[in-house]
Chain A
């Protein structure tokens, strides 16, 4: 087993390298592992077939997952960035859909941050939100009878569970509109600077959607998603908006109607007793 593991380690290292297999420092030892071909292909040429496929497969996968970022940067610059990302975050799961999971944080916190515009970094976050919504688990449909049957005095204690696909993002540009254009094959065009609160989710027909919502609704969603009870959450939102809770009441009712209609709610739970 140790022998098999060391052979596999040597091969995997060679094919993940960004230097061609004939030029790696370990080329000599690899030649001792891999047989030469009767067609004149040496060990390095043979490994090179796999190395090319490694980069092709993973860069293409990332390109597919980040269409808006590709449109903003252009394919060559995106590939250069994605290659750096792959070196820092090599694929660690069988699930290729999760390959780009750490890219937004790599762009936000790594050395790439200084080279990229805020628009590019926003785009990466929005593109990933779509991937996360795509792969999220299903949830049983929300039973809205609870809205009509729950006594009013219990609502402050309610904890709201949302559909697992619901993703919240704050961006500084109209990336949602830019992505929409890119998805329809149009040039990306400009994305004017505009602070937006976005929700990305998978609807009941499994289509991926994005919508901009107002600050208050976004803040309430954010706090509720963290698990806070409804009463305390409304209080916090009212304070942040400089309103009193009573005035905010009708807006909250409207927001809940919208969330229910869009399928964002999964369940409402009340503490026992």
Chain B
């Protein structure tokens, strides 16, 4: 039995990141979106407008929290206050899973608020596996790790990112959040083959996919979440869905956020890809019958 089945991970369909410019529209109009993802840390406060907006959102949609500050690979101890807030949030919204990035975000008590890559070594692997197990025990729902976009690699790494990610997931029995745009960005920046990366990720552990746009900075690509999904990233998405089957997919857009309709169009496109690929085996079967 695969990871998703064992953990009763639902396919939520195609969702959109819940972001400030569209909060009023979403809560008023309840547009046709399958689900929303929230940035976990934005909803850790014990009161205020965000908490009340989240309650309203949860009344109409399934909501999944996605963190940016857990620092699963950090050398500092895990932050218990952070974990207890995450657990409360997960319970409050009855989240089917939660996720964060394979990265570190600070050291020595200083938080740099970035998703910094890890050296992919055996030593780091043991460290991350142990922390993922603790996080899963604390939050009480399946936990998925997202592949980060990165701009540097360490000389001491002895494994590729997909090898490292796959092994962390296997050893800690965690899920994966496959960010297809991040694969594309990192592949460009580090010169590896994005398709091989997608092909080597354990498909049954993928609980969610992220799609987003990036910016070309000449000598590197920057994961800005500021544009439409690039055609090459859509191709990678098709490849990923062909391997994993239809899994919950999310459109992320965090900078220069466009009108709601643009986000809805991107979500519709993802839905078409998922539906076409889901129909393919059925089409093949019906043509055999004919």
A-to-B contact residues, CB < 8 Å: 1, 3-5, 7-9, 11-12, 15-16, 32-35, 37-41, 43, 45-47, 49-50, 53-54, 57-58, 90-97, 134-139, 164-165, 202, 206
Contact A9 B108, beta carbon cutoff 8 Å: yes
Contact B107 A35, beta carbon cutoff 8 Å: no
Q: How far is the CB of B90 from chain A (nearest CB, A)?
A: 16
Interface-facing stretch out of B2-10, B111-119, B269-277: B111-119
- Known: A5-B75, A50-B151, A135-B45. Is A39-B110 also a contact (CB below 8 A)? no
21 contacts between A and B (CB under 8 A): A1-B123, A8-B74, A8-B107, A12-B116, A15-B112, A16-B112, A33-B156, A34-B152, A39-B191, A39-B219, A45-B219, A49-B220, A91-B110, A91-B111, A92-B110, A93-B111, A94-B69, A96-B41, A136-B47, A137-B46, A206-B49
Contact B114 A38, beta carbon cutoff 8 Å: no
- Known: A39-B189, A134-B49, A137-B46. Is A96-B116 also a contact (CB below 8 A)? no
B-to-A contact residues, CB < 8 Å: 41, 44-49, 51-52, 69, 73-75, 79, 82, 104-114, 116, 118-119, 123-124, 127, 151-157, 189-191, 219-220, 222
Closest 4 CB pairs of A and B: A138-B47, A94-B69, A137-B46, A5-B75
Report which of B46, B110, B191 forms a contact with A12, defined as CB distance below 8 A: B110
- Known: A1-B75, A34-B152, A39-B191. Is A11-B114 also a contact (CB below 8 A)? no
Report which of B49, B75, B151, B190 forms a contact with A38, defined as CB distance below 8 A: B190
Docked CA distance A164–B41 (Å): 20
Name which residue of chain A comes closest to B105, CB basis: A94
Docked CA distance A40–B186 (Å): 15
Docked CA distance A102–B73 (Å): 29
Name which residue of chain A comes closest to B75, CB basis: A5
4 additional A-B pairs beyond A164-B47, A165-B47, beta carbons within 8 Å, are: A5-B75, A8-B107, A15-B114, A50-B116
- In the complex, chain B residues whose CB is within 8 Å of the CB of A5: 75, 107
Docked CA distance A172–B46 (Å): 32
- In the complex, chain A residues whose CB is within 8 Å of the CB of B45: 97, 135, 137
Contact A12 B112, beta carbon cutoff 8 Å: yes
Contact B48 A49, beta carbon cutoff 8 Å: no
Report which of B41, B52, B73, B112 forms a contact with A206, defined as CB distance below 8 A: B52
